[in-house]
Structure 1
Amino acid sequence: MKNNDRHFSGIHHLTAVSANIRENKRFYTEDLGMRLVKRTVNQDDTSAYHLFYADKVATPGTDLTFFDWPVDRERRGNHTVTRTALRVKDDQSLRYWQDRFGSLGVGHGDLTERDGRLYLDFEDPEGQRLTLVTDGGAGDAPTPWEGSTVPAEHQLRGLGPITMTVPNLRATDLVLQKVMNLRPVRTYPDPESPAHTVHVYEMGEGGPHAELHVAVRPDLPPAHPGAGGVHHVAFRTPNEEQYHAWNERLNQFGIRSSGEVDRHYFRSLYFREPNGVLFEIATDGPGFGVDEDMATLGEKTILPPFLEPRRAQILAGLKPID
């Protein structure tokens, strides 16, 4: 396969930061109706939970994940991911969610149209900036979870466009196009500052599940990481053959990376684009059923094999979240 024929199929997952993981679990499972599909720890900091929320079977592209770190709130700015979209099927679902947020006291904006789609912006209790967007049924079909607090027809269908904010586009654009093979397809005015522009890049077959939006905001200060902020965004590659090829491609371009990392549930490769946003390339498999019955996903703390010998020590350092 030629380098220019290799493309990501969409967003794999997004990982953010919470300083109140118990309330985080309540919000995402109860208010948003997502399933906790993996209760594990940060493999590089085992004092912290790493929680994964998704559809019933943790379909790649539906995962929203959180590190449990006792840090101050994020100071907003550029050089980071600034909004995460979650997909619903149609306008009827958006109105359902608008009513649901009102009844639950979840802070949200009005239904607004931008970039040719209808959006509903909202925030989680720690200020994580989220939005719902209609996808018209595009993307891999998720598997509804019968244990959700949300009716199947209105459940979240997975990740939508991810918006990152940078002060200057040029170097980022070079990496997105020349290294990652993303395609620039259109622009629209930044809804938070209409004098500035958001540039839309798509991957794979395109669609809201396969878009990265880049807002160019030189007027903002650099963000300071913290709770309510995003740690990294991951892009989907289907198998290990292409995963190895992406590692070779980064090396060919002289881009520093983590090298290949086995996360047990998928294979990972991390690097920073020129404005400092942390990207991950992740394989679709082997998936979360590799060490847990799919019927009981997320009910107990699971550790990858290399951490099992330290189970007692690790669990003793975790706080209860149920």
Structure 2
Amino acid sequence: MIKHPLLGMNHVTAMASSPQTIFDLMSKTLGLHLIKKTVNQDAIDTYHLYFTDDTGTAGTDMTFFTFPNQLPGIRGTNMISRVSFRVPNDAALDFWEDRLNDRGIEHDPAESQFGSRHLNFRDEDGQEYQLLSDENNQGVAGGTPWRHSDVPADMAIVGLGPVTVTVADQEHMHFVVTDLMGYRQLAADGNFTLYETGEGGHGAQLIVEHRDDLPLAVEGFGQIHHAAFNTEDRETLQFWIDRISDYRLPQSGFVERYYFQSEYFRAAPQILFEIATAGPGFLQDETYDEAGIHLELPPFLEAQRASIEAGLTPIDTSWRGR
């Protein structure tokens, strides 16, 4: 038994071509709270936008980098291919299908997998998303819908569900997910295998898709950069740093992100995972009412504010639905 099991999803970070377009989708359409408008700490000419539940609960974060001059990604195998958002029940999927139709967002018909209904859709960059019904779900609790969204609370997104990881080498990925990360295999459906950790449920699940018949994916906008898994604090993070080091996978070691601490590791070719702490959180340097409106920088970047702001394309993130 692993001493400090992973708790489930922490956040997922994707790449977008336009910061304004992704804000409009995530906040104006999906009803998520832009709780932090900041920059990629490793590439400060790039926005890092954090969309969450009302208060920035770990496990509800969908975040985006907007690298200048990046080319579109090419889908294939060896990529994190889809992220899912949890909604309260099957009836909510009907609401979301109508809303996506009204906004002209491309989507597939609702269907079922692993006993839960879902609705797949994609954005203008071709990034793949899923709305996943929690009707038959138990386990890790969801968050609280953003109070300023125009999405009714009983239909709103409450957090992240499983990501889907598409790989050519299923045996290797199974070993990493189960032996290293401590997930347990729950079910299989064709090329897809469902895994779960901790308290279980959609917020603690991961799906691996085996596809050795596709060319390798090429990274670019419209793709997921990395998926992050939740751990409690600095102490438990150090446990995972040591554990991953023992497995000799390529890794970053400890990284201070100010809003959380983390470690990155290469789970498989082209598959970047992160272990991230649940805190200290996003409201330590600004008030709830101002969150996401102004560019915030961690203290170690504040001295570079003028040059950072000069290099970024301004975006209007002041919208509130109600």
What is the TM-score normalised by the length of structure 2? 0.95
Identify which of 56, 60, 63 aligns with 1:62.
60
Counterpart of 2:82 in structure 1 is 83
- Measure the CA separation in 1 of the matches of 2:91 and 2:172: 40
Q: How many residues align?
A: 313
The CA RMSD over aligned residues, in Å, is: 1.2
Give distance in 2, aligned partners of 1:66 and 1:4: 31
**In the alignment, is residue 200 of structure 1 matched against residue 198 of structure 2?**
no
CA distance in 2, matches of 1:309, 1:274: 37
Report deviation, 1:201.
1.1
- How many angstroms apart in 2 are the aligned matches of 1:111 and 1:174? 32
Name which of 265, 279, 282 aligns with 1:285. Answer: 279
Q: Deviations over 1:246-268 (max 9, x none)?
A: 11111222222101000000001
Deviation at 1:214, TM superposition (A): 0.4
Tell me if the contact between 2:81 and 2:224 (Cα under 8 Å) persists in the aligned partners: yes
Confirm or deny: 8 A CA contact 2:142 2:203 kept in the other structure: no
Q: Please list the CA deviations of residues 154-181 of structure 1 after superposition, one character each: whole Å capped at 9, or x if unmatched.
A: 1111110110100121112111111111
Match of 2:306 among 302, 309, 312: 312
| Secondary structure, counterpart of 1:306 in structure 2 | helix
Report if aligned partners of 1:6, 1:181 keep a CA contact under 8 Å in 2.
no
Match of 1:11 in 2: 9
Counterpart residue number, 1:274? 268
Which letter maps to 2:254? E
The CA deviation string for residues 90-135 of structure 1, in whole angstroms up to 9 with x for no partner, is: 0111110011111111111111112111010101121110010111
Distance (Å, rounded) in 2 between the aligned partners of 1:309 and 1:146: 34
1:185 corresponds to 2:183: no
Structure 1 residues not aligned, in runs of 5+: 190-196
Q: What pairs with 1:35-54 in structure 2 (closer than 5 Å)?
A: 35-54=33-52
Cα distance in structure 2, aligned partners of 1:26 and 1:254: 41
> How many angstroms apart in 1 are the aligned matches of 2:268 and 2:51?
29
Q: 1:292 is matched by which residue type in structure 2? A: E
State the Cα deviation string for residues 177-228 of structure 1 (Å, max 9, x = none). Answer: 1111111111012xxxxxxx11111111111111110000000110001111
Letter in 2 for 1:151: P
Superposition deviation, residue 5 in structure 1: 3.3
Partner of 1:237: 231
Could you say what secondary structure the match of 2:108 adopts?
strand
Separation of aligned partners in 2, 1:309 and 1:275: 37
Partner residue of 1:151? Answer: 152
Q: How many angstroms apart in 2 are the aligned matches of 1:130 and 1:17?
A: 13
User: Shift of the alpha carbon at 1:275?
Assistant: 3.1
Provide the C-alpha distance between the structure 1 equivalents of 2:281 and 2:77, rounded to a whole number of angstroms: 33
Distance in 2, matches of 1:9 and 1:182, equals 10
Shift of 1:22: 1.2
Counterpart position of 1:193: none
In 2: Cα distance, 1:38 partner to 1:49 partner: 10
Amino acid at match of 2:36: K
C-alpha contact (below 8 Å) 1:172/1:275 kept by paired residues? no
Cα deviation digits, residues 41-70 of structure 1 (max 9, x gap): 000000010001111101110000000113
- Given that 1:9 and 1:205 are in contact with CA atoms closer than 8 Å, whether structure 2 keeps it comes out as yes
Aligned to 1:135: 134
Cα separation, 2, equivalents of 1:176 and 1:227: 26
Q: Which amino acid aligns with 1:231?
A: H
Most deviating of 138-147 and 83-92: 138-147
Identity in percent: 39
- Runs of at least 5 residues in structure 2 that lack an aligned partner in the other structure: 317-322
Q: Report the alpha carbon displacement of residue 148 of structure 1 after superposing the two structures with TM.
A: 0.5
Alignment-derived partner of residue 100 in structure 2: 101
Aligned partners of 1:199, 1:165: CA distance in 2, in Å? 11
